[in-house]
Amino acid sequence: MAISFLVLGIIVLQCSFSASDFLHPLDPLNATEINQIRFLVQNNTALCSLPNLTFHFVDIEGPNKDDVLEWLSSNTNGTSLPPRRAKVVLRAAGQTLELILDLAAGSLISHSVYTRHGFPPFTFDELSRAIKLAESFPHFQQSIAKRGLDMAQVTCVPLTVGWYGEVVTGRIVKVVAFYRGGTSNIFARSIAGISMLVDVESMKITQYADTSIVPLPGAEGTEYQPSVKKPELCPCPIGIGITIEGNMVKWANWNLHVGFNARAGLIISTASVLDEQRKQFRQVLYRGHVSETFVPYMDPTSEWYYRTFMDMGEYGFGRCASSLMPLTDCPEHAVFKDGIMAGAVGQVEVVPNAICIFERYSGNIAWRHTEIGVPGKLITRVEPEVTLVVRMVSTIGNYDYILDWEFKQSGCIKVGVSLTGTLELKATPYTDVNQIKQEVYGNLIANNSVGVNHDHFFTYHLDLDIDGQENSFIQSKLQIQKVKKGWGTTRRKSYWKTFPEIVETEADAKFQIGLEPAELLVVNPNQETLLGNQVGYQFMPGPSVTALMSDDDYPQIRAAYTKYQLWVTPYNESERWAAGFYVDRSQGDDGLTTWTSRNRSVVNKDIVLWYTVAFHHNPSQEDYPVMPTLQGGFELRPKNFFERNPMLKQQ
């Protein structure tokens, strides 16, 4: 069915919004706005008549970055906010529709049909219906009975299928099955040999296979839930005080905005730090969030090869956000914020306690010194490190991902990514490693259970504005220098020296970190300290982990950007998602690798860093039945940004 947007009229709604309804230009959509958007769509005769109309992406559109920064710099009450707009992605009649709405006027600004590769994220409604369809399929029920299993104890899970060179004709998921009997750890008891393809729009099973019967892993030892356990009170913090007004957070020497949407989940924006000497807040981060994830399993067999998930673009981190538990996920003094988004039919959906904000004192030292050089005195000064933490947890299938943004009084921003949850295990006939005579693509970690090797890639979008928008990226290499003859009486033979290199274009601005020692810096070449140093921030990466699949492998084509841990691009509002906006069944022709082929200049520009936190996971027995938290991340640290240690108050 072809869709013509020529008949779409502009509908002015009775409800509209003024600048006074919002406190910050980047505030996420609220419940009233989401209802307004739903009303606009459902009352448009051209749209509401279309079959299978579903909402797949609803978020604020823009606003223009210059307008946001101008609003921030004015810092006066009553200043008009930039226009409030929303982007809406719908599916109807087998097509993807894109709308831009003016929320203040209640009108449709633009509309188009997306015709390139890739599909929008799945809705939970689609996934739920696919599960019910699979569970009621007679052939599937017969396969379960043939294995002597109780259908009432079966859990079906719909998985995305990626792209492998085929002509893509529809939106499909592959449904696999697990057995709950005797445990709540469903991913530990895989029912091997059965798979189904479901077309989520026709809601039909298009392919069914029951290839073999493999022994079902037992339930013994799989349970991870404790018996009765009372929560322990967290240590009381050293109170500095958090002020939260709407989505704006003020703490110690930091001002920042905390947002949320269905795709990225937690979004940090307009973070600025107080410079006491200048008596002003200075820009550091315009916007930061996880842009995409990539989780490819290393089992090329027919039941596993397609498990190469891009969770953000296929499911959504915000959509899968968990409600955080006081006293366990977050300390007792934490402040919680709900996550608000639109559901499959445009209805308001709320994740209670999706984000928590709290002060943390973990016993770390911010700085200290003991001085014994003053005659007759022993001087010791220690400053405990109290930080601000903004946290979200997204549970996608078997994994729980903990995302932390930690702000320090030193001006540092520490970003943490943690993995926990349960492994998705592969059923196997083996109960001892000595029985294994063929490749199992992982490790035997329990009876009849293989933990398949896999990777986790978390690619961050980091729009840094270090003391302003015009920034440059410097790779300052550390190189050995030989001491020249005739240098006095020195007996040294070598030392190291830094050689700063300004990265000029995107072709040079992609890095496999760790190949040679270097400092990575974002500087503002237009701002200097009193001593003449360019102000900047040092980017401090985590361990070097790169993709290990061949470049011509289809999953790697879709996630080609993971071959480099760090990229630098000029700012473009439309470039936020590393694998492209439409990820499900994408073909690698959009996203970071495509954008950078233009080889744009990154010198003295508004630049964006893209950094991938990654883990190669070779599972072990200690990961069973539940995985202890594995942590990674990176840090942004002031480098000649302040005149001196900002934690020292002016004397």
For 325, phi then psi, to 5°, come to -100, 120
Q: Give the integer Cα–Cα distance in Å for 420 and 232.
A: 20
Residue 104's SS3 state is: coil
Q: Which amino acid is at 508?
A: D
Distances (CA, A) of 31 to 7, 38, 209: 28, 11, 43
Query: Are 211 and 193 a contacting pair, CB within 8 Å?
Result: yes
- Cα Dmax for the chain: 90
Of 311, 400, 463, 590, which one is the catalytic site residue?
311
Respond yes or no: is residue 305 known to be catalytic: no
DSSP string, 456-515: EEEEEEEEE-TTSS-BEEEEEEEEEEEPPTTSTT----EEEEEEEEE--BGGG-EE-TTS
Respond yes or no: is residue 584 known to be catalytic: no
Distances (CA, A) of 51 to 99, 171, 289, 640, 643: 17, 16, 35, 59, 62
C-alpha closest to that of 175 among 190, 196, 154, 160: 196
Spatial neighbors of 353 by CB under 8 A, at least 6 apart, are 323, 324, 325, 326, 336, 337, 338
Q: Give the integer Cα–Cα distance in Å for 396 and 316.
A: 9
Q: Give ∠ CA 210-215-220 in degrees, rounded to 5.
A: 135
Q: Which amino acid is at 564?
A: Y
Three-state secondary structure readout of 542-582: CCCCCCCCCCCCHHHHHCHHHHCCEEEEECCCCCCCCCCCC
Tokens of 627: 């995985």
Of 286, 306, 315, 399, which one is the catalytic site residue?
399
Spatial neighbors of 209 by CB under 8 A, at least 6 apart, are 193, 194, 195, 196
C-alpha closest to that of 550 among 539, 542, 540, 562: 562
Instruction: List active site positions.
Output: 311, 399
